[in-house]
Chain A
């Protein structure tokens, strides 16, 4: 994608390494990058060992290398990491995509010649950030009017990004009922059982049949029991509680057969999108569908859109997470049950996924999104920055806050994503 790169060495297929040390959801959201690179050459993926099985399921044909990134004990880390890195240390990579802004990721970058590393790299102890991720971080300071899906943020690192509509299959019901994901990684982004139960009931009405699979990790068993207890007796018999009982393969198989996945912003939600299973997600607090919404055509997100949304999850909420109350509103439940009407409670939007040239978009099908025009203009500008052709690119001049003098003054390659 970046025509300024001309250092492809030799005639053999290039070898790429993607370092993704984050969690479940991030691994799935790396798909556009991984698939794009697979078109060009041999792809290796370095990730936390706990995700290795999942990665092998999700990314056939990719060489997956697990390492003790998380969860090991301090005494073991040195020896384990030393051993784990043995698999990639001897390989000559044309390019290394280091995707996470974290100390361990910077440490790993040091193992490779720094000009070959994209994203986050280290040169003689100095941490360096490529202009593309740096620019994306600047955009996220005005999240309400910007929005670039993480799948696209990472996908656009590649020289020839896969067209967005080819990343995941269109969402189609598979006949296996409803999956309900109990909680996201951040409790504030999840719904308590008494709010979730009516939503599940509405979703059941939308699909028309069960079973209802409860999905989640072992820590959510109690919440699952609470939810089941709150469901009407007619539905309770449809519940199959798989919380804490699925390995990666079982989860993959279970989700792949569903008609609908009801979920907050979770890894399982991204897995459903990867498999082309329709998602009905509820995004609140810091979750923002324009950034981490389910990737692909045919997904719906109920997005809390209070004035303070999206917030920062690291900052305590001064409103006692009031944005979650809207999910109990009858108008929201009507939408979830499939009885679409334009009327919707304030502070809420029903968003439907789609694509533009840059990647995934979400547009309001109920409620009014006051930032939609501004966001479209932003995306046109971001597309120009990323080197993607898009109409109306001149509709918005770059906000001064998004630019730094050095962007203009210092040598960068054509699209400003790499400054070797």
Chain B
């Protein structure tokens, strides 16, 4: 697809799909599209404050619903102004059913990337039929279930990595001491992880992340008292660790390992960092990675055996890590995923009727180089329309340069004097 699209990316207010949404935005921009975020996290503080009111549950329910309606209205207002070719919502995006119906009525294509476990988050059943495209990270009978609910346009779209974020780092000795260990795990303290990792006690182990409350056996290994770790530091931990343990979460009692199909983002992120990981076998892993691109285990005993083996074989670790990274860069980046998603969504998007306007040819010669540099800095294709350039400039933070101001001025001037009103 070569056409430049306007995409409104609706982020969730919080949660695991929030960083994934940002990676999608990075990728879409890298592909040359104009991306506008709906920054739902900015609303989360006010939403959370409702829960501190000490009012009746019926009142709280009413207030929360009312608040979310306002947030949905804000998204609709943004759609009206930005006139996107596609609204891409991440799991838990605060788009109400009413708002989704409105978008459908207005013929604004919508897509959801549901990057959650369908069994843990069953609310998808109420929302899936209201999206025009529903992308998921699981297979099995999921497409059929979606079709039964009326969502026939589903797409399997596994998670991925953002090479601009998840990358090998040269760490200083201080950083290695701060973040490094022989074994580490970054993530939430799901029950299966708590039980499995007790078997690692005695190793040089560090556990990073939240939701480990009350886990006394692993308390000596828990870092920063279970505080949430920001992505930038997570990448440093991945890079500083000899063996990254990647055990997928499970909420099913009694099952510690090997309980699911989807592959978590950590698998792709660790590989993209060129970091070595031991990851539990998943039903969907073989179609994503070949033998030798990841080191796998099937149960806790296997994990312990692998730890012992790879501790002793640094060259094997390096070989697997390098192959894993190569595979991710070749096939499993968010740019790959967004390209796939847009290909599937293309039939939903009739294409904007942009009048042919070779605006660049009318720029005074002495400004052309400066405009080229500007487009480059904004990651915009040389074929970008004047309207998309204007929109991108408007969303910039801080004071604008003289050239940027002059471009926005020209846009307003055209609206005043030529009656030309791009977009809405």
Which A residues lie at the B interface, using CB under 8 A? 74-75, 77-79, 81-82, 85-86, 89, 102-104, 106-108, 110-114, 122, 124-125
Contact = CB atoms under 8 A, between A and B. Distances in A.
A79 B367 contact: yes
B409 A81 contact: yes
Interface SS of chain A: helix, strand, loop or mixed?
Answer: helix
Given A86-B402, A110-B400, A78 B412 contact: no
Interface string B342-386: 000000000000000000001110110000000000000000000
A81 B412 contact: no
Contacts of A89: 401-402, 405
A104 B416 contact: yes
Contacts of A81: 405-406, 409-410
A114 B404 CA distance: 15
B415 interface: yes
Given A81-B409, A82-B406, A110-B408, A124 B416 contact: no
Contacts of B417: 74
B412 A79 contact: no
Contact of A82 (B362, B399, B403, B411): B403
Given A77-B406, A107-B409, 12 more contacts: A74-B410, A74-B413, A79-B363, A79-B364, A82-B406, A85-B406, A103-B416, A104-B412, A110-B394, A110-B408, A124-B397, A125-B396
A125 B390 CA distance: 10
Nearest to B403: A82
Contacts of B410: 74, 77-78, 81
Nearest to B365: A79
A417 B27 CA distance: 42
Interface residues of B, number: 31
Contacts of B364: 78-79
A77 to B, nearest CB: 5
B414 interface: yes
19 contacts: A74-B413, A74-B417, A75-B362, A77-B410, A79-B363, A81-B405, A82-B402, A103-B416, A104-B412, A104-B413, A107-B408, A107-B412, A110-B399, A110-B408, A124-B395, A124-B396, A124-B397, A125-B394, A125-B395
B82 to A, nearest CB: 10
Contact of B411 (A86, A107, A111, A112): A107
Q: What 3 pairs across the A-B complex have the smallest Cβ distances?
A: A103-B412, A125-B394, A79-B364
A222 B119 CA distance: 83
Given A85-B405, A108-B405, A74 B400 contact: no
A108 B411 CA distance: 12
A107 B366 CA distance: 22
B407 interface: yes
B362 to A, nearest CB: 6
Contacts of A112: 399
B407 A78 contact: yes
Nearest to A105: B412
Nearest to A75: B362
A104 B415 CA distance: 9
A107 B400 CA distance: 10
B418 interface: yes
B367 A78 contact: yes
A111 B402 contact: yes
Nearest to A73: B417
B412 A111 contact: no
Contacts of A102: 412, 416
Contacts of B397: 124
Contacts of A86: 402
B103 to A, nearest CB: 22
Contact of B402 (A74, A77, A85): A85
Contacts of B404: 110-111
Contacts of B402: 82, 85-86, 89, 111
Contacts of B399: 110-114
Contacts of A78: 363-364, 367, 406-407, 410
B42 to A, nearest CB: 12
B395 A108 contact: no
A396 to B, nearest CB: 34
B413 to A, nearest CB: 5
Which of B391, B396, B399, B403 gathers most chain A CB within 10 Å?
B399
A388 B397 CA distance: 36
Nearest to A117: B399
A111 B407 CA distance: 11
Interface string B310-328: 0000000000000000000
Contacts of A114: 399
B366 A79 contact: yes
A241 B376 CA distance: 58
A13 B408 CA distance: 31
Contacts of A79: 363-364, 366-367
Contacts of A113: 398-399
A112 B399 CA distance: 5
By CB atoms of chain B within 10 A, which of A114, A124, A125 has the most?
A125
Nearest to A112: B399
A122 B413 CA distance: 16
Contact of B409 (A75, A104, A124, A125): A104
A212 B410 CA distance: 43
A72 to B, nearest CB: 8
A242 B309 CA distance: 101
B416 to A, nearest CB: 6
Contacts of B418: 74
B78 to A, nearest CB: 11
A308 to B, nearest CB: 29
A86 B367 CA distance: 13
Q: Which of B367, B394, B404 has the most CB of A within 10 A?
A: B394
A265 to B, nearest CB: 22
Contacts of A103: 411-413, 415-416
A147 B367 CA distance: 47
A110 B399 CA distance: 6
A70 to B, nearest CB: 8
Nearest to A127: B394
Contacts of A104: 409, 412-413, 416
A82 to B, nearest CB: 4
A125 B367 CA distance: 24
B398 to A, nearest CB: 8
A103 B418 CA distance: 13
Nearest to A78: B410
B356 to A, nearest CB: 16
B399 to A, nearest CB: 5
A107 B393 CA distance: 11
Contacts of B412: 102-104, 106-107
A106 B397 CA distance: 15
A124 B405 contact: no
A114 B396 CA distance: 12
A44 to B, nearest CB: 15
A233 to B, nearest CB: 46
Nearest to B371: A78
B411 to A, nearest CB: 7
A231 to B, nearest CB: 39
A218 B63 CA distance: 63
A111 B400 contact: yes
A107 B414 contact: no
Nearest to B395: A125
